[in-house]
Amino acid sequence: MRPVLALCALIALAACEAGPGGGGSASVSGPAPDSREIALGASLPFGEVATVCGLSKKALGTPVATESGFTLYDTAATSTGQRTQYVTGFDDGCARQFTAALALFGDIGTHETLAYGSGVLHDTVGAAYEEVKGQICGVPNGQPCGSAAPKLARNTTFLTAYAAFGASGRHADMLLHDGRALAMGVEG
């Protein structure tokens, strides 16, 4: 079994499927971290993500950031404690719910700078990114996307959710690509 399959199998139950995509769509082998659907009003512990359908715009909270076709919503944007947050922009029209004290998008350039500078490529999210990047950019693992970076960035971003506001270090990273959540990993 390829390493990305083994790593993804630890965090979810259903397989990712390639979606239609303008701007470069890639398929990642393995399960999706958001395969579980929960009911409206359910809560999740930090480090988990689930699909929730039927939310009104008001229920999503305040839109705080948009990146690569995904929008992050905060249900209590002035709070520094853990709370429910949502991200939209998925092919099924449903939101993805998670719990965090702070959540931020990160672009592919930032990821490549951090990953290739530190040599950390073998975590779940990094492995999934390498697979998508290889399909769209045509470059080997450990190499920046290069001239195809704008094409990849149109529909690919990272979402980092922090367990605490401040320097706790505990965080969850999610790779979002072409209307899908491809991988998630928790560190710290």
pLDDT band at 6 (very low <50, low <70, confident <90, very high): very low
Rounded mean pLDDT of 17-46? Answer: 72
Per-residue pLDDT, 33: 92
Q: Which segment of 16-20, 62-66, 91-95, 124-128 scores lowest on mean pLDDT?
A: 16-20
Name beta bridge partners: 37: 51
Residue 141 has pLDDT above 50, yes or no: yes
Where does 47-125 show beta strands of DSSP type E? 49-52, 62-67, 70-74, 83-88, 95-100, 102-106
**In the sheet where 83-88 sits, what is the strand order?**
49-52, 95-100, 83-88, 70-74, 62-67
pLDDT band at 117 (very low <50, low <70, confident <90, very high): confident
Per-residue pLDDT, 14: 27
Rounded mean pLDDT of 48-60? Answer: 96
CA-based end-to-end distance of the chain: 27
Residue 61 has pLDDT above 80, yes or no: yes
40 by DSSP, 3-state: which? coil
Residue 18 has pLDDT above 50, yes or no: no
